[in-house]
Structure 1
């Protein structure tokens, strides 16, 4: 059987998710994994022969690269342009900072690999979206302007519905795990999770820029007189009603029907409120159910993240404040399965306001390490977030110099991660704090060896040269002061002649 195009992509996606003990994706940009358990019975270390971990998709949204790829005459020329580590890798993990911007709503989130978020798709005729629908979450009716969609469920159940065009009968289906449906190009369609557990689906498209147009949201963005006439004229709906309706239309991933919502457990409703950024609802639920203050997420991909972990990763400062005031971090910070604090997740995602809040609440948490030996400073450096990095170095106990000397289990310092990410501002910040550019990890690699681009390597070496010149000048000044070599010449000296 010959499998091509979208079908092959879907099979690969489902096979990966079908693995009974698939490991969570590691966003590391440097080194080899310290886990030796992958060695086989012959004693061969699998990590020594597989391709190295590289920075993922560092040029997402690069308009100059996208323009060159779209005008390249052949695929060979396009591949030549895609010459950076990780150009052909995309990260669908929620919270990824290197691949895309997530589309979020009260009912969940979706992450899309398109020609913009992954330039390597240009010329290859395909795109992909992974959707995470929470309990009763709905991907509201929408159209893909330029592509047919193949949608396969990989976790939970999915109710689907579509109308192909005027005169065509609506089609509705209930899909279970590993079942697939097709939404023809231009068909109005939607997906709904009827259960109280998360549903995950993978959608493949036969165009790298499939487009999306949400029906209700865009319809109510038209002129009021057009909307009024379409809905039956002013007797049915007046202008004031239309303006109120505009505000009521939810984001395209919305919460579903009341019958389902009423079944949701308080713990799930609480996480839904945090996803939605609804601080008032969070307060109300916690007031009625104080035992849910931590509320660890024990779902398949939840990592036992607490409420604060979730709120911090999403950047909801007001919810974080509510949780802290309720005593969430007393007597010590909550840790997830990877021993990560909420501060680590906020630093990794570049949530500046939350990082500031958590640093003020507990400075000692800055130096806490996860199971890989990484701290919040390393996470911010890895994510390429300079402002959160500066905040962390400002608040860190013992001062920034000691903090930037720390290394993870593989010997990687924050400077290794910043170099691997191509974080130019981070490089300057870390070197100013005293980071060691010659520091080698357990694989004997310096930070410069992991430079994401030639530009990063040149910039880093330039900063080092600048620092060395400045140090040399300072030494000469100090030497001059100690040696007393300065000669004072009187005003009436013959030397003035």
Structure 2
């Protein structure tokens, strides 16, 4: 009896290991690094990943860029215990903004390495409608998990900050572009706008990728766009 139980447990272990390694569809999806066994994770990166250089850019416009170190950019993060950790190096040009967005899975701690930025966020329903202020080089800003927040450069010089997260994949959901991808009936009922007005805004939002420019500020700073 004991031998039969041992054989059964061994069989179950082999099946589970095979499923984890090959996935439900028969192949390993390297995008699902959180679910790959540790030995496979170790084979997915080399020693260079432990000294990350922020070479890859997720968002790039003439007005700034975002260079993340999330698990999909650095497989080494998949080996960290618990929820892991990640970072994002953000450059915000003069009069530009890292548009309102939220991170559904992590709190953000941002340390300014250059310039000055206006940070702010809105709390959940029933909370304060807005919390914000200016932060300068050497200061750190705390943004609670899940809240809509932004970083805006109201000056005429470039600013930069590094955002740290207690999660290997904090997720990013940009507020305007996400909302205006919803069905017309939903946007119409929420905003009171007509279909024609909504479509005009949709085109404007799509043509204004992140980071984007505040044109009134740009005029003040003499920036051509």
Once residues 211 and 105 of structure 2 are traced to their aligned partners in structure 1, the CA distance between those partners, rounded to angstroms, is 21
Structure having the larger proportion of residues in helix: 1
CA gap of 1:203–1:68, structure 2 versus 1, over 3 A, is: closer
- Which residue is equivalent to 1:172? 132
Tell me the secondary structure at the aligned position of residue 262 of structure 1: helix
Tell me if structure 1 keeps the 8 A contact 2:105–2:171: yes
Report the number of matched residues.
192
Alignment equivalent of 1:132, drawn from 79, 91, 103? 91
CA gap of 1:195–1:84, structure 2 versus 1, over 3 A, is: same
Once residues 138 and 196 of structure 1 are traced to their aligned partners in structure 2, the CA distance between those partners, rounded to angstroms, is 12
- Which residue is equivalent to 2:11? none
After superposition, residues 253-292 of structure 1 pair within 5 angstroms as 253-256=211-214, 258=216, 260-265=217-222, 269-270=223-224, 273=225
After superposition, residues 431-446 of structure 1 pair within 5 angstroms as none
- Which residue is equivalent to 1:88? 50
Tell me the secondary structure at the aligned position of residue 225 of structure 1: helix
1:359-382 per-position Cα deviation (integer Å, ceiling 9, x unaligned): xxxxxxxxxxxxxxxxxxxxxxxx
Tell me the secondary structure at the aligned position of residue 86 of structure 1: helix
After superposition, residues 88-487 of structure 1 pair within 5 angstroms as 88-92=50-54, 96=55, 100-124=56-80, 125-169=84-128, 170-232=130-192, 237-249=193-205, 250-256=208-214, 258=216, 260-265=217-222, 269-270=223-224, 273=225
Once residues 68 and 157 of structure 1 are traced to their aligned partners in structure 2, the CA distance between those partners, rounded to angstroms, is 36
CA gap of 1:228–1:69, structure 2 versus 1, over 3 A, is: closer
* TM-score in terms of structure 1 length: 0.37
Once residues 45 and 145 of structure 2 are traced to their aligned partners in structure 1, the CA distance between those partners, rounded to angstroms, is 33
Q: Which runs of 5+ in 2 are unaligned?
A: 1-27
Once residues 225 and 174 of structure 1 are traced to their aligned partners in structure 2, the CA distance between those partners, rounded to angstroms, is 38
Tell me the secondary structure at the aligned position of residue 131 of structure 1: strand
Q: Which runs of 5+ in 1 are unaligned?
A: 1-62, 274-497
CA gap of 1:65–1:88, structure 2 versus 1, over 3 A, is: farther
- Which residue is equivalent to 1:296? none
Tell me if structure 1 keeps the 8 A contact 2:45–2:76: no
Structure having the larger proportion of residues in strand: 2
CA gap of 1:216–1:78, structure 2 versus 1, over 3 A, is: same
CA RMSD of aligned residues (A): 2.0
Q: Give the deviation of 1:82 after TM superposition.
A: 5.2
Once residues 102 and 80 of structure 1 are traced to their aligned partners in structure 2, the CA distance between those partners, rounded to angstroms, is 24
Q: Give the deviation of 1:84 after TM superposition.
A: 2.7
1:134-184 per-position Cα deviation (integer Å, ceiling 9, x unaligned): 101101110101111001111000101101211111101110111111111
Q: Give the deviation of 1:91 after TM superposition.
A: 1.7
Q: Give the deviation of 1:199 after TM superposition.
A: 0.2
* TM-score in terms of structure 2 length: 0.78
CA gap of 1:83–1:155, structure 2 versus 1, over 3 A, is: closer
> Which one scores higher on RCO, CA 8 angstroms, separation ≥ 6?
2
1:186-242 per-position Cα deviation (integer Å, ceiling 9, x unaligned): 00100101111100110011111111111111111111111010013xxxx210111
CA gap of 1:86–1:69, structure 2 versus 1, over 3 A, is: farther
Once residues 120 and 245 of structure 1 are traced to their aligned partners in structure 2, the CA distance between those partners, rounded to angstroms, is 40
CA gap of 1:213–1:69, structure 2 versus 1, over 3 A, is: closer
CA gap of 1:123–1:172, structure 2 versus 1, over 3 A, is: same
Tell me the secondary structure at the aligned position of residue 221 of structure 1: coil
Tell me if structure 2 keeps the 8 A contact 1:69–1:78: no
Question: Rg larger in 1 or in 2?
Answer: 1
